[in-house]
Structure 1
Amino acid sequence: MKRKASAYLALTKPRVIELLLVSTLPTMIFAQRGFPSVWLMVSTLVGGAMAAGASGAFNCYLDRDMDKLMKRTKGRPLVTGDLTPKEALIFSWALAITSLVVLWVGTNPLTTALGLAAILLYVVFYTMILKRRTAQNIVWGGIAGCMPVLIAWAAVKETVEWPAIILFLVIFLWTPPHYWPLSMKYAEDYNAASVPMLGAIANARRVSVQVVLYAWATVVCSLLLVPLGHAGIVYTAIAGGAGVWFIYESHVLYREAQGDHKPAVVNRKAMKVFHISITYLSIVFLALAIDPFVGSPLFG
């Protein structure tokens, strides 16, 4: 029973859910300029987590053929046999429907619609259409990962405003320099599964250039929240400082990739950027959550 429960949990990709929730609560706090009601926070977080979990479960079901070809994903429950495809599909549908019910009851129609859009974007647009067809899969497919900030903002404001759009774009621009370094490390896996991830099919020099460009774009976009989103000094200082760090490490990867270093050395740098990108985004959203309680907006 415990093994089965663990398998169902693994199907939802908990680490991805954690990362998505990192952006949800701070966005709600920033939108409210304080703490929203407990009911609203719980409904949004639970409904959002379930929607993300359903998306991950559908993804595991649809990608089960390629997962068995990749070392990184051979431990997933549909590959190990801990779950059958039928069990995974039923669980995915149940979780998706429940997530929408939770959002409908606990938030508002717009938030529920955005939750549904997030599921469809990840399952249909990314997994079924883009992932196996284009090296830009993670760029446009990453839109699904940007949806939690829109969901969070809509839950509080019952609309989508410029600050939410800026945060959406921050995550959109952050996704490639976060994921492409990982695909550099696991290039053999993606090639074995015939997934045209840029980090797997392009050389390290080309990928590192893209990582640097997207890192710069991410940081610049994050600072647009100051003049356009009424962010204050805390957010400005922390997001700016974290951004300098993220850009610096991206340039280190670029420098290593341009040299004659062994692939293992470049891959170590790539994985460092991957991990730093997670820390960077977490710091930015932590600053977003703190900002309303300290000082006042720098503009307006």
Structure 2
Amino acid sequence: MQNSISPPTSTRLHRNVYEVIQSYVQLTKPRIIVLLLVTTGAAVFLASEGQVDPVVLLATLLGGWLAAAAANTINCLYDRDIDQIMERTSLRPLPSGRVRVRDAMIFAGVLAGLSFILLNTVTNLLAALLAQAGIVFYVLIYTHWLKRHSTQNIVIGGAAGAIPPLVGWAAVTGEVSWSAWVLFLIIFLWTPPHFWALAIYIRDEYAEVDVPMLPVIAGNEVTAKQIWIYTWLMLASTVLLVYPLGDCGLVYVVSAIALSIPFVKKAWLLLGDCENTEVARSLFKYSILYMMLLCGSMALDSLPWAQQVSYTVAQRVETLLSLVSLGA
């Protein structure tokens, strides 16, 4: 934890209870959590084969939210020194003085504890432990060790963001299967294109606070090439849910193909014009939409009607191929 932080130049006091709540919610970085919950929900649907227990789903999402909120709060505590320097983060609750360090630490501890209790009580111990492991990995491995010391910070650190689907899968089945690890892999490989595109867009801000993001250290050209490579690795990993695992069918296949086309196009444009921050911003924004829609297609594909569509289409294709082979 960084301690050499000068007091905020101005402290904006809370005027009412609503503003107090707003400050603590801001500590949790709610916009980031939404995407994590989408990936968790997709895992719950896939593991349940569309027969979702609403109590398990709700408890898993709430437990996941609590764990992610705890991790993000600790991240805000650790990064409050650089948040104070960067213009876009200087008004966050800690650097602005709206929330005290001690109170934020207590808040994070309560959130983590509630997450463990809820997941362990309603789902199972494995899901609860995985959620806590996500907090530890995000705080110790990414925030403390990698973020300020390695250009591979978001590559290795991306594992923290890929843990939520493991939690979702474990909450339903009590184990972590190959399918759960494929979900982990998809998100793990998605993370570099997602964050490096953002890093190109705000490279100067990272440079200002000495965070060694890849564009700052190696330049935009190298970063764009890495984005291109990881994009194709990610797209290849999405196929594994169809073959050889067979967890997803036609709805997912069609969606995955359709969603991959703009992703590849934007990554290609960035590769050809790596200094264009607007292209990088466009890729960053689309990567969020891509992951949300891809997870949505997984959930839809797990439903009985979608499975019936896949079965019917497979039967007709098989019949057609039989007729063709007989005609030959």
TM-score normalized with structure 2 length: 0.86
Asked if residue 191 in structure 1 is aligned to residue 201 in structure 2, the reply is no
Q: Which residue of 2 aligns with 1:260?
A: none
**Matches of 1:45 and 1:228, distance apart in 2:** 28
User: How big is each residue's C-alpha offset from its partner over 1:229-261, in whole Å with a ceiling of 9 and x where there is no partner?
Assistant: 32101101111221122111100111112xxxx
| Structure label with greater radius of gyration | 2
**Matches of 1:236 and 1:242, distance apart in 2:** 10
Q: Secondary structure at the match of 2:95?
A: helix
**Matches of 1:10 and 1:124, distance apart in 2:** 22
Deviates more, 1:199-208 or 1:87-96: 199-208
The residue type equivalent to 1:244 in the other structure is: I
The residue type equivalent to 1:250 in the other structure is: A
Matched ranges for 1:133-148 at <5 A: 133-148=149-164
Contact 1:181–1:199 (CA under 8 A) maintained in structure 2? no
**Matches of 2:145 and 2:240, distance apart in 1:** 32
Ranges in structure 2 where 5+ consecutive residues have no aligned partner = 1-16, 315-328
The residue type equivalent to 1:196 in the other structure is: P
Identity rate of aligned residues, in percent?
38
Asked if residue 247 in structure 1 is aligned to residue 269 in structure 2, the reply is no
**Matches of 2:244 and 2:64, distance apart in 1:** 26
Q: Which residue of 2 aligns with 1:70?
A: 86
Contact 1:68–1:74 (CA under 8 A) maintained in structure 2? yes
Q: Say which structure is richer in helix.
A: 1
**Matches of 2:245 and 2:23, distance apart in 1:** 41
Matched ranges for 1:79-94 at <5 A: 79-94=95-110
Contact 1:78–1:85 (CA under 8 A) maintained in structure 2? yes
For residue 199 of structure 1, report the CA deviation from its aligned partner. 2.5
User: How big is each residue's C-alpha offset from its partner over 1:173-194, in whole Å with a ceiling of 9 and x where there is no partner?
Assistant: 0001000111111112111111
The equivalent position to 1:172 in structure 2, one of 188, 192, 213, is: 188
TM-score normalized with structure 1 length: 0.94
Ranges in structure 1 where 5+ consecutive residues have no aligned partner = 258-262
The residue type equivalent to 2:279 in the other structure is: K
Q: Which residue of 1 aligns with 2:176?
A: 160
The equivalent position to 1:99 in structure 2, one of 107, 112, 115, is: 115
Asked if residue 53 in structure 1 is aligned to residue 69 in structure 2, the reply is yes
**Matches of 1:90 and 1:84, distance apart in 2:** 10
Aligned residues: 292
For residue 75 of structure 1, report the CA deviation from its aligned partner. 2.3
The residue type equivalent to 1:246 in the other structure is: F
Q: Secondary structure at the match of 2:103?
A: helix
* Aligned alpha-carbon RMSD (Å): 1.4
